[in-house]
Amino acid sequence: MKRNHIVDSIIDSGLIEPKSAVVIGLSGGPDSLCLLHALSSISDMLDLALVPVHINHMLRPEAESEADHAADMCDRLDLECKIFEAPCSEIAQEMGISTEEAGRNLRYQIYDEVASELEEEGVPKDRIAIALGHNADDQAETVLFRLIRGTGPHGLAGIPPFRFSEKGYAIVRPLLEIPRVDIEAYIKENRLKPNIDKTNSESTYARNKIRNELIPHLEKEYNPKIKDHLRRYARLAAADDNLLNDIAFGEYKNNMYVDEDSEEAVIDISVIKNDPLPVTGRIVSLTLHMLGLEHLATYENISAITGLIYSEKPSGGVDLPLGLRAYREYDKLIFSTGEVELGPDSDLQIYPQIVMMKDFAPDSESAYAAFDFDKFSSVYPGRLGDITLRTRLEGDYLPMKNGSKKIQDLLVDSKVRKTARGSILMVCIDSEVMWVLPSVEFAGEREKAKGRYSSKYRIDETTKRVLLIELVDSL
């Protein structure tokens, strides 16, 4: 076996354990092909079962030939490539999201499905890994992208080398410490022929602009080692974030409980009120995640709730969106998801803005809705500022593919409790609802995570300007 520093780095990372089944995300580009080839070279030594997965997003004319090429590359390594087709454009239009986010969601769903099949075939779950080809340059670009858009310490930690998927399978990135230039050298040295996505060299999307324009400018005019420094910052931020999360989780486990009678989450703050803000903020965030209200873990909401903890007053409360109230009674901080009628003083805010389609690259971790601005403007010219966030009113309706539905009927069909219907937040213009925000009260998992979108102003291949409506960035 021919060894080099990339292969050694993969082995030394400890992310690929011996006797594992490895699902490899194979676009066929340089990064994923390098990963596939390197893992193939050590598969006998580590007793690995490699399962390459190629996903045809059906977005470009050459997509089908790229899928064939990926299968051919696997054949040369005596591996069978699993090929899937994912109609990203259709799903993006249906959900009112970008094709980029739709593709990302579909990829992770498919990887989970393949991993589940392996588990059903008898592979232990802790011996299944999903390996992706993100490299060190991707890490630097991600940190800079999030810094520009606005994020907290967790976001500045960048791409994690290891995390769990939604179904609990390990997602690993063995090339995360390898610069792109070294991967290109590996490709050349081993005479590999990757698929080349021409759009990566075009500054159409914000992330491509950072890669192709901003970072080269920073390297030339400010610091030639800017990417090294961004990666180092990500490692330091990740270390700090992990430590604080571990401390917060220990405090959370010891001081949070659920009152079975009232069905309320309760935190004993007699101890944690002496903790520093970075810890208490994370405890509050953990509680919101436990309640299925992770979309409310915004800077403003967490600041309001931690203010109750540190207040000298023994009582007080904060009304939050989606039917949540956090209130303090002496040394107890209580989270109630009962009926709460929200008024105009809600801490949650929306930020309608116009973005050119070529620059449309929302943070997938943030809650947002996106529409075709020109379609919206043809119906409501000059009324961007009239878009509001509120609870339902008589006569509200949501445009749907085949007509429209009264919000009252929508909430009934979605099995929202009668007592909670008055707390569901919506983005509206007049009586027309554009976005019903996500809520734990919905029966469907997609509605809990994304809410419901109007189909009237869907983004499609003709869209030039995007009406982007964002909530505040998550911590």
The pLDDT of residue 197 is 66
Window from 262-266, 291-295, 300-304 with minimum mean pLDDT: 291-295
Pair 198, 296 in one domain: no
Pair 228, 271 in one domain: no
Q: In this model, does residue 140 exceed pLDDT 90?
A: yes
Domain boundary among 336, 359, 379: 336
**435, two tokens:** 């976005």
Answer whether residue 175 is part of any domain. Answer: yes
Q: In this model, does residue 340 exceed pLDDT 50?
A: no
Q: In this model, does residue 375 exceed pLDDT 60?
A: yes
CA 226 to chain centre: 25
Answer whether residue 327 is part of any domain. Answer: yes
Pair 364, 328 in one domain: no
Alpha-carbon distance of 273 to 53, in angstroms, equals 49
Average pLDDT over residues 270-274: 92
User: How open is the CA angle 158-162-166, to the nearest 5 degrees?
Assistant: 100
The pLDDT of residue 322 is 62
**CATH code, domain with 303:** 3.30.465.60
Answer whether residue 296 is part of any domain. Answer: yes
The pLDDT of residue 172 is 96
Q: In this model, does residue 472 exceed pLDDT 60?
A: no
Residue 341 binned pLDDT confidence (cut-offs 50, 70, 90): very low
Structural domain boundaries, residue 279: 260-336
Domain boundary among 311, 336, 361: 336
Instruction: Determine the residue type at 244.
Output: L
Average pLDDT over residues 369-378: 91
Which of the pair, 324 or 397, is modelled with greater confidence? 397
Per-residue pLDDT tens digits for 227-267: 999 999 999 998 998 899 899 999 998 998 887 676 788 99
Answer whether residue 64 is part of any domain. Answer: yes
What's the domain count of the chain? 3
Answer whether residue 147 is part of any domain. Answer: yes
Residue 475 binned pLDDT confidence (cut-offs 50, 70, 90): very low
pTM: 0.64
Pair 213, 287 in one domain: no
Answer whether residue 363 is part of any domain. Answer: yes
Per-residue pLDDT tens digits for 157-202: 889 999 888 888 999 999 999 999 999 999 999 999 888 766 555 5
The pLDDT of residue 360 is 80
DSSP per-residue letters across 20-85: -EEEEE--SSHHHHHHHHHHHHHHHHHT-EEEEEEEE-S-STTHHHHHHHHHHHHHHTT-PPEEEE
Pair 14, 132 in one domain: yes
Pair 355, 330 in one domain: no
Pair 331, 366 in one domain: no
Give me the chain's average pLDDT, please.
85
Alpha-carbon distance of 381 to 374, in angstroms, equals 9
Nearby residues of 331 by Cβ (< 8 Å), 6 or more positions away: 268, 269, 270, 273
**188, two tokens:** 């050349």
Nearby residues of 261 by Cβ (< 8 Å), 6 or more positions away: none
Q: In this model, does residue 469 exceed pLDDT 70?
A: yes
The pLDDT of residue 166 is 83
Q: In this model, does residue 474 exceed pLDDT 80?
A: no
Pair 332, 357 in one domain: no
Pair 282, 403 in one domain: no
Per-residue pLDDT tens digits for 74-122: 999 999 999 998 888 877 776 666 777 788 888 999 999 999 999 999 9
Residues of the chain above pLDDT 90, percent: 47
Rg (CA), the chain: 24
Pair 266, 362 in one domain: no
The pLDDT of residue 201 is 55
Q: In this model, does residue 203 exceed pLDDT 70?
A: no
Select from 432, 282, 289, 425 the least CA-distant residue to 347. 425
The pLDDT of residue 333 is 93
Q: In this model, does residue 275 exceed pLDDT 90?
A: yes
Answer whether residue 255 is part of any domain. Answer: no
**CATH code, domain with 112:** 3.40.50.620
Pair 120, 152 in one domain: yes
Domain boundary among 234, 252, 285: 234
Pair 227, 290 in one domain: no
Q: Judge whether 32 and 184 are in contact, CB under 8 Å.
A: no
Nearby residues of 329 by Cβ (< 8 Å), 6 or more positions away: 314, 315
Average pLDDT over residues 36-46: 95
Answer whether residue 425 is part of any domain. Answer: yes
Average pLDDT over residues 2-14: 85
